[in-house]
Structure 1
Amino acid sequence: MKKHKKHTNLERRANDNFAPNEIAILGTNCNNISELVHKVSERLSNYKLAYFDVSHAKNVAKNKLSEYVFHHEGNLQITTSGNVNKYQQRLDFAQFDYVFINGNHYQGAKQILILDEAKEASVLKRLDQLDRIQFIVKLKNETEFFDFLVEKYPNIKNKICYTIDEVDQIANHINNLIQEKIAPIKGLVLVGGKSTRMGQDKSELDYFGKPQKEVAKELLENNNLETFYSVRAFDCAQGDNKKSNVISSAVEKSQEIPDTFYNLGPFGGICSAFQKDPNSAWFVLATDVPFVNDKVIQSLLKHRNPSKVATAIKGKNKEFVEPLITIYEPKAYPILLQYLAQGYSCPRKMLINSDVEIVEIDDNFIRNVNTPEEFELAKKELNK
C-alpha cells in the first residue's frame, strides 16, 4: 500500500540552526565574546555579517509598539516584541554570509570554544553542544584543556588553537569557513517564452548554425556550469512536437526545469530553478541576446560577488541592469518570493531594489532581438 504523504517533499536550503552559515562562540564571559566578534568583523567587512545575542537588561516591559528607526546613512534600530523562532530567524538571517552566535545563550550548529579557567563550569554544562568545534581560542596561552573535555572529545587537543589576541589569524580562519560554503553555480537557459513579437520561438532562431538555445547552453557549459533549460510546464507536459521549445530526447528532458510558478514568465523560471535547487546560485541567460559571448560570460563569473543578492550585467549607457544575464545567489530566492507575495513578478524590480554587484559592459553585447527585422539585422552583423 502506498504511503500517504501529507506534504510535498521540497528541497530545502541547507540551513544551520538559525542561519545558512553560523558559528557559536562560548566558553568565556559575554563581553569577551562580543569584543572578539566585533574585532573579527572589522577584518571581514567585505561580507554581510550578523551577531545573534541576548540582552542582559532586567525587568524590560513588553513593547506595545514596534519601532523601526532608520538613520539617513543606513543604520536601522528595531525595538519590538517577539520570541526566538528558528524559522523566523532563518528568514531574518537569510541574507547574511555568516552569523556569530553568543553560545552562552543559544546553541549554534558549529562552535568556537574559548578556554577560560573562570568558566570551566559553564563549559561542562554545555559539553554536549560542542559536537562541531571548528577551532579553539585560549584566553591565556598557558590555559590547559579541561579533563572532561579531553574525556568527551579525545581528539580535541588536535584542533587548531589560537590565543585571544591573534585576531588576524582567527579572522582568516573564519574567512576560510565562509568561503567553504559559497554556493556552486548552475546555468539556466530560458526557453519557455511566448515570443509574441517574433512570431516564432526565439530560442529556436539560428544565428550560428544551430538553435540559439543550444548556443546559450554551450556558452554556460563551456565555463564548467551544469546547465538546464527552463521550460513552460504546459509544453513539457504536453510533449507537443509542434512546440519548438520542447526538447524531445530523454537525456535532454532530464536537463529541463518545468515552471512550477505558472504564468510568471522569466520570474517563474528563476523561482522554479531555486525550488529545484535552493543551495546553488543560478546563472540565468536568455536566448534573445545573441551578442552575448564567452567573454561576457567569463566577465560576469570573474566579478561574481556571493555576498550580494546577485551579480548582474548593465550596459554602460543603460539605466537598469539586465535581469536575464545575471547570477542569482541563493539569498535571492526568499527575496523573489517576498516580491511575489506583494504582487510583483519582475526580476528587474527586485534587482533594482536589492544589494547587487553590477558589471558594466558595452551596450551592444546585450542587445535584445525581438522582431523578425531585428533578427535579420543581427544575423547579418554576427555573420560578419
Structure 2
Amino acid sequence: MAKHKKHTNLEKRNNDNFAPNEIAILGANCGVISDLVHKVSKKFSNYKLAYFDASHAKDVEQISLSEYFFHHEGNLQITTSENVNKFQQRLDFAKFDFVFINGNHYQGTKQILILDEAKEASVLKRLDQLDNIQFVVKLKSETEYFDFLEEKYPQIKNLNCYTIDAVDAISNHINSLIQEKIASVKGLVLIGGKSTRMGTDKSELNYFGKSQKKYVKILLENQNLETFYSVKNQSDKSFEIADEFYNLGPFGGICSAFQKDPNSAWFVLATDVPFVNEEVIQLLLKHRNPSKVATAIKGKNKDFPEPLITIYEPKAYAILLQYLAQGYSCPRKMLINSDVEIVEIDDSFIRNINTPEEFEVAKSEISSTSLRGRMTK
C-alpha cells in the first residue's frame, strides 16, 4: 500500500540555511569578521552580496511599527520587530548571489574558520557547527591548529589556509564558491498560445521546412540546452511541461517551468518570432548575467524588453510569484520593474508574426533572402 503523502511533492529551490548560497565566518570577534566581509565584497562589484549579522545593541526598544527609510540614492534602512525565520530569510535573500553570515550568531551551511588563539574556547563551543569548512584563515601566520580541531577533523590541514591579509586569495576562493552555484540554462519553447489572429496554431507554421516549434527547439538544443515545450494540457512526454498555472498565458508557462525545475535558468523563446536565429541565441547567452533577475532582448527602437526572448534566472521565480500575488500576470511588467541585463538588437530580428498576411510576407522574405542587420549590446 502506497504511503499517504500529506503535502504535494514539489521540487524545491536548492537553498542553504538562509539563502541560495551562503557562508558563515566564525572563530574571531565580530569586528574582524565584518572587516573581512567588507574588504572581500569590494572585489565583487559584479555580484549581489549580503551580510547577515545580529545586532549588538544591549538595550532594544520593543517596537510596534516597522519603519522603512528609502534614500533617493537607493539605500534602504529597515527597523522591524520580525524575528529570524529561515523561510522568510530565503525570500529576502533569494535575489543575492552570495550571503556572508556572522557565524558567531547564526549557523551557515558552509563555513570559513578563522584561527585566533584568543577565541579557542569560542571555536570549541561551536565545534558542531563546523561541518563543512571550505578553508581556514589565520589571524597570525604562526597560529597552530587547535588540538580538538585536528581530533575531530583529521583532514583539516589539507584545506586551503590563508592569512587574514591575503584578501585577494580569499576573494578568489569565494569567487569559486559563487561560480559553483551559477545555474545551468535550459530551454523553454512556448507553444500553448491561442493564435487567435493567425487562425491556426502559430507553432505549427512552416518557415524553414519543418514546424516552427521543432525549428525553435533545434535552435536551443544546438547551444547544448536541454529544451522543453511549454504546453497547455497535461502530457506524459518527457520533453513537455504542462501548464500548472491556468489561464495566465506565457506567464503561467514560465512559472510552470520553474515549478518543474527551480534550480535552472530558463531561456524562454516564443514561436512567433521566426527571424530569431542562431546568432541571436548566441548573443543572448554570451551576455547572460546570472546576477540579474534576467537577461532580455530589446529592440533598439523599442521601449521595453521582449519577455519571450529572455533568459530568466532562478531568482526570477519568487519575483514572478510576488507579482502574481498582486494580481499581475505580465512577464514584461516584472522585467521592466526589476534589475535586468538588456541586450539591444536590430528590431528586424524580433518581429512578431501574428496574422496570415504577416506570415506570407515573412515566409517570402525568409525564402528569398537572408536577414541582414547589426546586433549590438
* TM-score range relative to shorter protein: over 0.9
Offset, 1:383: 0.7
1:108-127 alignment, distance < 5 Å: 108-127=108-127
Offset, 1:356: 0.1
Q: RMSD of the TM alignment (CA)?
A: 0.7
1:226 and 1:82 map into 2 onto residues whose CA distance is 41
Offset, 1:49: 0.2
1:346-365 alignment, distance < 5 Å: 346-365=330-349
Which residue of 247, 255, 262 corresponds with 1:278? 262
Matched, 1:17 2:32: no
2:51 and 2:84 map into 1 onto residues whose CA distance is 14
1:1-384 alignment, distance < 5 Å: 1-233=1-233, 236=234, 253-384=237-368
Offset, 1:63: 1.5
TM-score after normalising by structure 2: 0.97
2:294 and 2:166 map into 1 onto residues whose CA distance is 34
Offset, 1:260: 0.3
Offset, 1:140: 0.3
SS in 2 for 1:43: coil
Offset, 1:2: 2.5
1:333-364 CA distance string (max 9 Å, x none)? 00000000000000000000000000000000
2:94 and 2:137 map into 1 onto residues whose CA distance is 28
Offset, 1:173: 0.8
2:87 aligned partner, one-letter code: Y
1:275-333 CA distance string (max 9 Å, x none)? 00000000000000000000000000000000000000000000000000000000000
2:65 aligned partner, one-letter code: L
Offset, 1:171: 0.7
Offset, 1:254: 1.1
1:77 aligned partner, one-letter code: Q
1:228-270 CA distance string (max 9 Å, x none)? 000002xx46xxxxxxxxxxxx7xx210000000000000000
1:45 and 1:378 map into 2 onto residues whose CA distance is 43
2:314 and 2:221 map into 1 onto residues whose CA distance is 20
SS in 1 for 2:189: strand
Offset, 1:12: 0.1
Offset, 1:220: 0.2
2:335 aligned partner, one-letter code: L
2:268 aligned partner, one-letter code: V
SS in 2 for 1:335: helix
2:172 and 2:160 map into 1 onto residues whose CA distance is 13
1:283 aligned partner, one-letter code: F
1:124 and 1:62 map into 2 onto residues whose CA distance is 34
Question: Alignment length, in residue pairs?
Answer: 368
Offset, 1:5: 1.3
1:91 and 1:10 map into 2 onto residues whose CA distance is 17
2:100 and 2:322 map into 1 onto residues whose CA distance is 25
Aligned equivalent of 1:240:
none
Query: Which has the higher mean CA deviation after the structures are superposed, 346-355 or 62-71?
Result: 62-71
Sequence identity, in percent? Answer: 82
SS in 1 for 2:199: coil
4+ residue stretches of structure 1 with deviation over 4 A?
none
1:37 aligned partner, one-letter code: V
SS in 2 for 1:327: strand
TM-score after normalising by structure 1: 0.95
1:34 and 1:380 map into 2 onto residues whose CA distance is 63
2:280 and 2:47 map into 1 onto residues whose CA distance is 25
1:255 aligned partner, one-letter code: F
2:304 and 2:337 map into 1 onto residues whose CA distance is 11
Aligned equivalent of 2:375:
none
2:276 and 2:46 map into 1 onto residues whose CA distance is 30
SS in 1 for 2:42: helix
Aligned equivalent of 2:372:
none
Note the residue ranges of structure 2 that are not aligned, 5 or more in a row: 369-377
